[in-house]
Structure 1
Amino acid sequence: MSGVERAAILLMSLGETEAAEVLKHMGAKDVQKLGAAMATLSNVSRERATEVVDAFIAELDSQTSLGVGADDYVRRVLVGALGQDKASGLIDRILLGRNSKGLEALKWMETRAVADIVRNEHPQIVAIVLSYLDPDQAADVLGQLPDRMKSDVLMRIARLDGIQPAALRELDEIMEKQFTGGNNLKASSVGGVKVAATILNLMDSSEEQAIIGRIGELDQELSQRIQDLMFVFDDLADVDDRSVQTLLRDVGSETLGLALKGADPRVRDKILRNMSKRAAEMLVEDMEARGPAKLSDVEAAQKEILAIARRLADAGTIVIGGKGEAFV
């Protein structure tokens, strides 16, 4: 079972009220993933549910101790898992209630709706908004903007070096007028070359090349810096074996087989070497039986695996790196 499936079984074991309380403390993307997993669960045996709950209790027992305040525990766990910078926003939302609902509301919206909201704004505003979103959501929104805007917006994201609290508060108020929410914001560090590289990594390959090409025409140095920080599927060949094995535990066999259809031989060999002999044989058999696949489907599968790799890298579970070691 994947981590999402285990979490879905655990939440469904808790009951509606308790599950709802847990979901209140989670981000939009995680809630969507868990909701989808719960909706597709069927015929979960009592033994399987008990196994998941027992594993969770064992994990909890290994990390908590009597006498530790709940707030202190949450703060330490988040900082330990994500680092001080990444954890600070979550700590604020969970413990301090500093929820920037204006901009935060965008994370809960369909990407097409977000694109419709920002497409007529100044490119600098769009750059700040996309920097605030999760990278995969930002990539989807950017892909739906007019072609003339895409390279301009990505260049502005790469050149962002934080944003003043007053400016961020004003932008949050503008977003709030279109839906609901508050405007209690801290200073925020958004944007930068790494953010631009991450967003670009998550876009379709054809658009990725077109955008980086247009940026190169305007600023070759910036274009090269972005490319140096990108992590592409072929870079998996250089990831250490332990990280590859950890990654494979979160990737479905169907997605993996499709992604390897168009992979560099070095990547294919790396993946197969880090699987059991039987699993590798079954994967090769499935790939041969599948026959030809659309390039777009292969690229989508590779993007999905890269997104999982980045998520694990951000959590400190694995180590990956592009040419510029952006994701470590």
Structure 2
Amino acid sequence: MEKQIRLREDVTSLTGPERAAVILFALGKDRGAKLMEQLDEDEIRMVSRSMAQLGSITSSVCEHLLRDFTDYFVNSASVVGTYDSTERMLSQFLPEERVMEIMGDIRGAAGRSMWEKLSTVNEQILASYLQSEHPQTAAVILSKIRSAHAARVVAALPSEFRADVMRRMIEMDYVQKDVLKDIEETLHSEFMVNYARMLGNDSHMRIADILNQVDRARLPEIMGEIEQEVPDSADAIKALMFTFDDLLKLDGRSIQVIVQAVEIDTLILALKGLKDEAREIVFQNMSERARAIVKGELELMGAIRASDVDEAQSRVLRLAKELEARGEIILNQQGKSSPRRMIA
């Protein structure tokens, strides 16, 4: 026997989620869907459940609720903007990673979410921490951080643990808010506090990041001063820096992406400062036509200033960093056990 649909005639008997369900139905499929997109997952589940169990609503109840709904906005004459509402709005037309980046800039360092902060943690350190956690917890954490950074962390995990985590990420469904909150609190108390303390005691990484942005023409002079003042730290800083030599140690696909993105004149100048063996690594990742053009230009090119080569290589390095930020390549420095020569 078919279940009887109950008739709802008294507006006061409706709960908040039920009233929202009535309004969404009354707005129609297209408008209701757009409004529903602004809700978070918990709210969507709550309203959806009410929609399914709503029953039949009389026209007078619908009219009453819609009048209340419009009166609320007319009388309030204001809009409340929050970090959450801004983030939901941006999510309607921007990729998740771009939203995280913008919201991180707006909030500032102190206001960044735990997942934004984790996306800046050294991949080796984060991978080491995740190995001490349950694979399901590791799967949740990796699913929340930026995908480009998650890729680097996953690559640093042991194969057996990595396979288990990846399987759980594939099978993962909705994660409840209270579970995420517990994980965030644990990450803050057990990991981020110690990580911040470690960074505070080790300035080598910060100096390396600064020097990566320095004009390459000035780099030998600055490194010389560091070697003279703090020789023990100089080698550690060099090992942490990302140099043009490091680009040549990337996988073939990453080199191809960089070569395709860089301007041909810049690439030719950058290659002018390399030995034949190093150039060959780049040539192997170029199309036959592009390789012939670049080789021909290099043969015809006369003597050039070292500063022009430095500037060209700096532009390529900056482009590589931009490509990594967009998630198109991974500047993986795993396995750097000794300082590498910096091309100056």
Scaled to the shorter chain, the TM-score interval is 0.3 to 0.5
Normalising by the residue count of structure 1, what TM-score does the alignment of the two structures yield?
0.44
